[in-house]
Structure 1
Amino acid sequence: MAPGSKDTRHTLAASDLQAAQEAQDAACGSRLTIDTGAIAANWQTLRERVGSAVVCAATVKSDAYGCGLAPTVRALASAGCSTFFVALPQEGATVRREVPGATIYVLNGLLPGAAAHYAEAMLRPVLGSLAEVEEWAVFCSSRKVALEAALHVDTGMNRLGVTVEEARRIAADPAMLATFRLSLVMSHLACGATPKDPFNREQLARFKSLDGLFPGVPRSMANSAGVFLGADYHLDLVRPGIALYGGEILESDPLRLRPAVKLEARILQVRHVPAGAGVGYGRAQVTNRPTRLAILSTGYGDGYHRRAGSSDIRPGAKAWLSGHAVPLFGRISMDLIAVDVTDVPQDLARRGAYVQLYGPDMDMTQVASAAETIDYELLTGLGRRSLRVYGPLSGTAVQGDW
């Protein structure tokens, strides 16, 4: 191949990119790897579960659960996803730029006075009150165009949504409904993550009591947990969220969905601490033997929850170092975490090595449980100091745009 050829230039560019990534990695205390391929694969698995007759959308609110909205929707669109749910119109505008032909629903409804923003970005508000329905109808009437929107019916969550009786009143007003195009009627499960809770069936019955009021309009009730409740809940469209990102839906995952996020922190130093020594703020945990501690360059300033720390009263979370589960030791501070590496070979627990705080070897849900929270909160609270890269959770990754 002649010098300066296209293939040579690409090789040089790849080499330059790798060198730049290595330089950035050397300057960062922690590394966050996000596998959008796993997110897309999880979506495909869920789509196969619900079958071709049901639309499988993707919920990408809160920056795609902390994973980066733009790269995530690009991966999902490449896998075949064409319907997205966001919380706010600015999120919807980002999705529109990345996937121009997508169908985009805004779960938080129609913000007061913002109808023009929805129309400009071709966003569909999920109308959750009579005031929102009326404002959208007036706006569409003034523009003389029947824009799409969804109707959210509250069946027991008691957050957003019109009541069942209000839904009946809306259905009985054909003149108002003629001003816009109702493209979806939806509700939301309060106890979907608890399959045996009888309230799931109660909500489904309330929702199905509206059948026939909006003929031809697709219906949706199932979030991630709802997908696992069975075909009765799938209706015409499912809108998984946390399942896409590898979070826990049920205690037993029959689909073996893939983890999509790995957080690692670099060891700054390894300390030899005698028995009877307190570690960290408040001396919350005291060594009961001569102990080797690895001090990691991350903390609650990077989104790792302080409550996951350990004390003499309660154990904390664990991390993963080269095939060894290592317990956190003492309180988590803003920038530092201590882990007990006494039982890890010294050549593995060394300055500069990375410790996995959660990912494929250290279950994120277990870490969240130790912090007395849920994996949703860990994901959406991912810090911005970590070097953020996109690629497989094992192997080469590339710096991402987020």
Structure 2
Amino acid sequence: MNSQEAKAGAVLTVDLDALKENWRRLKARLKPGAELASVVKADGYGLGAEAAGAALSEAGCKNFFVARIDEGIRLREALQGGERIFVLDGVLPGTAREFPHHDLIPVLNEPGQIEEWLNAGKADHPAALHVDTGMNRLGLSAAELDKLMPRLQAARLALVMSHLACSEETDNPKNQEQLKRFKPIAERFPALPASLANSSGIFLGSTFHFDLARGGVALYGVNPTPGQPNPMAQVVKLQGKIVQVRAVDTPETVGYGATHRVGGPALIATVSVGYADGWPRALSNRGFGMLGGIRVPLVGRVSMDLITFDVT
């Protein structure tokens, strides 16, 4: 333990080698010829987009997705060069000229963005096209696509994509419904690579893979197959120091609001982590920690800088 860690109440460790391994694991699940993109939006899911992007590039990733254009600009500076960076928000008013300047690719989501892009004279710079298949969030509707097909001939499209709404639920009929809707859309652009699958979508089978899958939360170690063993490596570890261990017996309670009442003699360990460190307050009296490889339940309310575990 170095001096900085010794002074810290909590230490968050990000394993970039595990991140690379997760990219390789997802890539290995794809059908032959399909590529795996990495989603590094929201500052790499809170773990640092620049460091995550650089590591994923070293692993072999050539395609990245971010949400905002400012994220794309920062990521471009961190990468080796030659990678494609797609911006999911697309072209917001006044941003069209920034995309070629920073070598970013907008994902065009609605008619106004397409007009903004083409009217700005950027038709020679690549853009992606998002078509909605049932998420009803971003993307052109089927009717808008029909209407805009002639106009899209003027754009230099590099990808056509959609997004799955229920891919974590393997038996949800929404998955097949969206696949059925996306196939004819992709066929309307035979020269373009197509992308539908997100992290969990990769595990729905090869028919969802198309040309490019988008690995997101699974890259960072979150289980893309809820209810099944996690196929991903652990990327993040949060360690807190035990500040105090105290013996408590019934009818005593633990923490603010007296929300946990001990049922008998117990040892309560107070740890120097709280909601100020990102531990969700909603996990009060829920979840667990690991002490010497043993699961110990979190008891009581999560405080700003302290949480309590029953280590009996």
TM above 0.5 = yes
Name the counterpart of 1:318.
288
Q: Secondary structure of the residue that 1:210 maps to in structure 2?
A: helix
Name the residue aligned to 2:134. Answer: 156
CA contact (8 A) 2:160 2:186 kept: no
Is 125-134 or 108-117 further displaced after alignment?
Answer: 108-117
Partner of 2:283: 308
What is the aligned partner in structure 1 of residue 124 from structure 2?
146
DSSP 3-state at the match of 2:143:
helix
User: Sequence identity of aligned pairs in percent?
Assistant: 43
Give the equivalent residue in structure 1 for 2:204: 229
Residue 177 of structure 1, aligned match among 135, 139, 153: 153
Q: Which stretch shows the higher mean deviation, 328-337 or 43-52?
A: 43-52
Contact persistence 2:299–2:310 (CA under 8 A): yes
Tell me which residue corresponds to 1:8: none
Match of 1:238 in 2: 213
* C-alpha deviation, 1:255, in angstroms: 7.7
TM-aligned CA deviation for residue 284 of structure 1:
1.1
* CA positional deviation for 1:170: 2.2
Structure with greater Cα Rg: 1
Task: Tell me if the contact between 1:47 and 1:56 (Cα under 8 Å) persists in the aligned partners.
Answer: yes
**What is the aligned partner in structure 2 of residue 219 from structure 1?**
194
Q: Alignment partner for residue 122 of structure 1, among 103, 111, 121?
A: 103
- One-letter amino acid of the structure 1 residue matched with residue 141 of structure 2: T
1:333 and 2:303 correspond: yes
TM-score w.r.t. length of structure 1: 0.74
The alignment partner of 1:77 has SS state of: helix
Pick aligned residue for 1:79 from 34, 59, 81: 59
Q: Deviations over 1:162-207 (max 9, x none)?
A: 111211222233xx532x3100000001111111111211111111
The C-alpha deviation readout for 1:57-78, integer Å capped at 9, x for no partner, is: 1111111111211111111111
In structure 1, what residue type is equivalent to 2:110? S
Amino acid at match of 1:45: R
1:198-241 per-residue CA deviation (whole Å, 9 max, x = no partner) reads 12111111111224422301111000111111111111110110
Give ranges in structure 1 of 5+ residues lacking alignment: 1-20, 311-315, 343-402
Query: How many residues get paired?
Result: 311
Q: Report the Cα distance in structure 2 between the residues aligned to 1:177 and 1:253, rounded to whole angstroms.
A: 45
**Structure 1 position 38 matched with structure 2 position 13:** no
Equivalents in 1 of 2:307, 2:75: separation in Å? 36
CA contact (8 A) 1:171 1:214 kept: no
Aligned 8 A contact 2:36 2:214 in 1: yes
The question of 1:201 aligning with 2:176 is answered yes
Q: Is residue 73 of structure 2 the alignment partner of residue 93 of structure 1?
A: yes
CA–CA distance in 1 between the matches of 2:244 and 2:135? 49
Following TM superposition, by how much is the alpha carbon of 1:52 offset from its aligned partner in structure 2, in angstroms?
Answer: 4.1
Distance 2:166 2:133 in 1: 12
1:250, CA displacement in angstroms?
1.2
| Distance in 2 of aligned mates of 1:197 and 1:217 | 28
CA contact (8 A) 1:128 1:152 kept: yes
Q: Which has the higher contact order (CA 8 A, sep 6+)?
A: 1
Point out 4+ residue stretches in structure 1 off by more than 3 angstroms: 252-255
Work out whether 1:65 is the aligned partner of 2:35.
no
Q: Residue type matched to 2:5 in 1?
A: D
TM-fit CA distance, 1:327 = 1.3
In 1: Cα distance, 2:88 partner to 2:7 partner: 39
Rate the CA distance shift 1:331–1:189 in 2: closer, same or farther, 3 A.
same
Structure 2 SS opposite 1:326: strand
